Every structure is written in structure tokens, then in C-alpha cells.
Amino acid sequence: MIFCLALVGAITVSAADEFSSFATGMPKMKAVFSKILADTPEFSANAVVGLFATNGTMLGKMPMTFALTADRMRQEIDVMGMSFPPEWREAMQKQHMDKIVIITQTDTKKVYIVFPGIQAYEEYPVPDAVLDEMTARANTVNIKKKEYGQEMIENHLCIQESLLVTETNRPAEIAILRCATDLQKFPIRMDIMTPTSTTRFMFEDVQLKKPDASLFEVPTNYMEFTNSADILSYAKEKYQSSSNNTPQ
């Protein structure tokens, strides 16, 4: 859930370099998904990411659409569906920042943070050190799968799988998957557990085909900014301008 917390920080403060952490975090997240979803490496789906306490209480959620290919990942986040105060969500909506798209391109070594509502974006290079680390870890990580039951989820018969992920000099990680038998064992639910919380990815409307290439590109008519503070200022200016031009 670090991804969700990083997103919140980036859009609620004006520090110019807040989004820069995505240049390291998003490629790593893509590598994890590609590893877990090796049998279905290209897909698109609607998703909800939820954070749960150890007693099962939901602490937060983040709805999005999700698309993945061998070299690219796209997340379109619906800010209005996140677990934040209504006044905060309303402010984001008024400034047309209620949709945020994150495009990760490991082939071009770039991450884009895109705001479709104001047709603006930021570009961040992915450091070579991050890509080298991902390659090294991919070659050494060990994943042990174990099937232990079945259950029905949203009319899909699912095989329950536990994953034990181990790496040298790193603590072991555990994940529980529910893999739909009618979707080539795609995990429509993934629980990634830590001692203090569980992050759950819930997928629906899964399409097991290569997503359209245009989803992973920034439209050519969008305006580029070099930091998040300027994007926030630009959004406020556009909102104020439209408000002043609205007939009373």
C-alpha cells in the first residue's frame, strides 16, 4: 500500500519532487505483477486496491483501471472513490484532478504522471540502478506456490493458492491468491500480507488480451510540466478562470 500513500502525499502537498518516488516505485510494482502473473502477462481490468488491518477492518481503498503488457503498465485512479474526506474529493473534482493516470514504460525507462482533466503530465526517468536491481532480484527470487482449496468469487470458481516469496537477505513475504479457473487461473483477488496489514487487489471485468498500445502513451496535445507544484498551480488557475467565466 506504499503506492497509495505516495499518491496521497503527492496530490495533497506542493513539494516539487513528490512524484519523483514513482520513478523507482512503479517499475518495481510492475516487476512484481509480471512475476506473479507470468501465466497471463497481458491483460486489462477494473480493480480496487484495499488496505486492511489485521482484524479485517478496511483502512482505505483506491479504485482504478489497470492494464499490463510485457514492458508497460497503466493505472487510472479514480480519486472520487478513495477513502478521503468529501471536501477534499470535491476540491480535486472542481480542479479536474479527480482522475490520475500513471504510465510505466520499462522499455523507454520512463514513468508518466498524467492528469487527463487538465491535459497535463510529468515525465520521470527510471534510474538504471533501479532496472539493474529489478533484473538481479528477478533472477534470484524464489516463489513457492501451494494450492489448498476452492471458493466462488463473483460467479468465478477460484483455486486458492498461497505464495511464499523468498530472497537472499530479505524477509520472506506471503501472498494469498484466488485464481479463476475460467480466466486461465488469473488471480482475481490477491492478498499481500505483512505483520501489520494486508493489501488486497480485487479485479473484475478482466480481459485476457493485449491492451491497446495507445493506453500506454501520453496524448501529444497534453502539456508537460517539470514538477508537481506547477501542475497544481496550473489546475487552480484553470479552475479560477473557468469560475470567473461562468455566467451568474
For residue 9, name the pLDDT band (cuts at 50, 70, 90): very low
Spell out where 14-141 has E strands.
43-53, 58-68, 72-78, 99-105, 110-115, 120-125
Cα-Cα-Cα-Cα dihedral sign, residues 66, 199, 162, 105:
positive
**Is residue 37 a part of any domain in this protein?**
yes
Q: How far is CA 61 from CA 10, 53, 77, 91, 241, in A?
A: 17, 12, 11, 19, 32
Is residue 78 predicted with pLDDT exceeding 60? yes
CA dist., res. 181 & res. 196, Å (int): 31
Please give the tally of structural domains in the chain. 1
Q: What is the pTM of this model?
A: 0.85
CA dist., res. 54 & res. 69, Å (int): 33
List, edge to edge, every strand of the sheet that includes 58-68. 142-153, 156-167, 170-180, 186-193, 197-207, 43-53, 58-68, 72-78, 99-105, 110-115, 120-125, 223-225
For residue 153, name the pLDDT band (cuts at 50, 70, 90): very high
Q: How far is CA 194 from CA 65, 76, 96, 113, 175, in A?
A: 25, 26, 35, 28, 9
**Is residue 168 a part of any domain in this protein?**
yes
For residue 18, name the pLDDT band (cuts at 50, 70, 90): low
* pLDDT tens-place string over residues 47-76: 998 888 888 888 888 899 999 999 999 999
CA dist., res. 38 & res. 70, Å (int): 10
CA dist., res. 245 & res. 248, Å (int): 9
* pLDDT tens-place string over residues 115-149: 999 999 999 998 888 888 888 777 778 889 999 99
CATH code at 150?
A: 2.50.20.10
**Is residue 26 a part of any domain in this protein?**
yes
Cα-Cα-Cα-Cα dihedral sign, residues 5, 2, 43, 133:
positive
Q: What is the DSSP letter of 95?
A: T
**Is residue 248 a part of any domain in this protein?**
no
CA dist., res. 121 & res. 112, Å (int): 7
What residues make up the domain containing 75?
A: 2-243
**Is residue 116 a part of any domain in this protein?**
yes
For residue 243, name the pLDDT band (cuts at 50, 70, 90): low
Q: Is 173 helix (H, G, I), strand (E, B) or coil?
A: strand
Cell numbers placing 153: 468469487
Contact partners, residue 129, CB within 8 Å, separation at least 6:
none
Cell numbers placing 159: 483455486
CA dist., res. 158 & res. 187, Å (int): 8
* pLDDT tens-place string over residues 88-108: 788 888 888 889 999 999 999
Report the candidate in 170, 164, 24, 189 with the shortest Cα–Cα distance to residue 106: 24
Q: Is the distance from CB of 42 to CB of 69 less than 8 angstroms? A: yes
